[in-house]
Structures are given as structure tokens and as C-alpha cells.
Amino acid sequence: MFTRIGRFFRAVFNSILGEAENQVPLAMLEESTREMLDNLRSLREATATTIAFETKAKREQDMHNGRIKNLERQAEEALKQGNEKLARRALQLQVEARATAERAVATYKAAKARADNSRAKLKVEEERIQGKIRQLGELKAIHAMNAAQQKMQSITDEYNIDGAMNVFEKTAGSIQEQADKLSAMDTIAVSEGEDLDRQLAAISQKSEVDSALDALKARLAESGSPSSAAPAKQKEKISSAFEE
């Protein structure tokens, strides 16, 4: 009960130091993960202690087994030398060492069983916590994605981006339409100008021809009557010829 209360207040405190009140569920998950890691650290320390006791028991067992073998070799050497009393003493110590070694074997077996149990439990807890850590990472990523989406939505609502885009598109369309009209008017104006230029050129050309014709008539008038009389006489001759 008190652990749950303490967890809640730590989560709230971490949330206040974090971003906002909506972070409380995520902060509680993070606080739970920190507690699991702390417990895992304690479990590792306990497992290390049992493994150390197992190592010590194994070392003592090996030491007693080595002493038993050494006493047996000493008893054989004493008999070879004919010292039966020394051989008996070595065998007596060997019997005592065997009893001690049996207790060491039992101690080692118990220590090994506890160490194996601690190793298995530690492995299970590590896998569970690793799974929770991965899940926490996924939840944090989802939370960050949701927060970004909410922020984007709030910005869209606050600044009315869609409305601004519609206004922009309408204004751009109106400007493009006016530009097209101006371009069409320029094209029409150029065509009309070219037509007027052709008409002016035709008028100017006609005036030049009229002027040339008038000049020619004036020159003929100045050169005068003889040239006009000669054709008249010739005409009379032609007429009289037809009359005969």
C-alpha cells in the first residue's frame, strides 16, 4: 500500500518536472520501470552472493579432497619406509578429513542449488524487465507521435492553415486570370496596330502614286500643244483613210 502511494507521488513529482499533466501515466510507467531496475539490481547482488558462496564451497570441497589424497600418499610412503605408526596417523587424519569432506560436499551441493535457482530467477526477471523496457520505449514513441499530431492540429486550428491556403489559391487564381486577360489584350493591341500600319502604308503608297501621276500630267502640259496636235492630225488621217 505504502509502496503504491510512494510510487504515485514520485510519478507526480517527475511529471511536474517533465512536460505537463498529461505525462502522468507515462511518468508512472517510467517510475515503475525504475523500481523494476532497482529490484533487478538487488536481485543481481543477491545472486552474486549465492554464486560467491557456491564458489567458496566448491573450493573447500576441492581442498578437502586434495587433503584426503595427500594423506593417503603419505600413509603409503610411511609403510614403504616401515614406519607403521606414521602410516596409522596419516590414515587416522584421512578418516577425519573424509568426514569433513562429506560435510563440504553437502554444503557445496546446497550452495550450487541455491546459486542455480538464483541464476534462473535472475534470467527470468531480466527477460521480463527487458520486455517492459521495450514496451516503455514503444509507448513513449507512440506518446511522442500523438503529442506531435496534437500540436500540429492545434497549430492548424489556431492559424487556420486550410483557410489561408484556400485564400491563397483563390487569390493566385484571380491574379493568373488577370494576367491572362492582359496578355490577350496585348495580343489584340499588337494585331490591331499591325493592321493600322498596313492601312497607313497603303494610304501612303496611294498618295505617292497620285503625286507621281500629277507630276507626270504637269510635265506633259508644259511640253505642250505640239505633241498633242500631232496625234490629232494623225487621227484625222486615219479617219479619212477609213472614210475612202
What does the alpha-carbon distance between residue 50 and residue 209 come to, in Å, rounded to a whole number? 129
Q: Is the pLDDT of residue 32 over 70?
A: yes
C-alpha to C-alpha distance for 89 and 87, rounded to whole angstroms: 5
Residue 222 confidence (pLDDT): 79
Confidence (pLDDT) at 113: 93
How far is Cα 135 from Cα 179, in angstroms, rounded to an integer? 59
Please indicate whether residue 104 or residue 2 has the higher confidence score (pLDDT).
104
pLDDT at 27: 78
Going by pLDDT thresholds of 50, 70 and 90, the confidence category of residue 189 is low
Of all residues in the chain, what percent carry a pLDDT higher than 70? 65
DSSP 167-231: HHHHHHHHHHHHHHHHHHHHHHHHHHHHHHHHHHHHHHHHHHHHHHHHHHHHHHHHH-HHHHHHH
- Apex CA 12: angle with CA 7 and CA 15, to 5°? 125
Question: 100-103 contacts: CB < 8 A, separation 24 or more?
Answer: 100/64, 101/61, 101/64, 101/65, 101/67, 101/68
Give 59's Cβ-side CA count (13 Å radius).
Answer: 6
Q: Is the dihedral of CA 42, 43, 44, 47 positive or negative?
A: positive
Q: How confident is the model over 153-162, as pLDDT tens digits?
A: 777 666 666 6
For residues 107 and 186, the model is more confident at: 107
Q: What is the mean pLDDT of residues 231-235?
A: 50
Which pLDDT belongs to residue 243?
A: 47
Structural contact between residues 27 and 15, judged by C-beta atoms closer than 8 angstroms: yes
pTM: 0.48
pLDDT of residue 107 exceeding 90, the answer is yes
pLDDT at position 116, please?
A: 93
- pLDDT band at 13, cuts 50/70/90? low
* Distance from C-alpha of 202 to C-alpha of 196, rounded to nearest angstrom: 10
* pLDDT tens digits, 39-76: 889 889 999 999 999 999 999 999 999 999 998 899 88
pLDDT of residue 197: 65
Query: Residue 82: pLDDT above 70?
Result: yes
H or E stretch covering 134:
helix 84-159
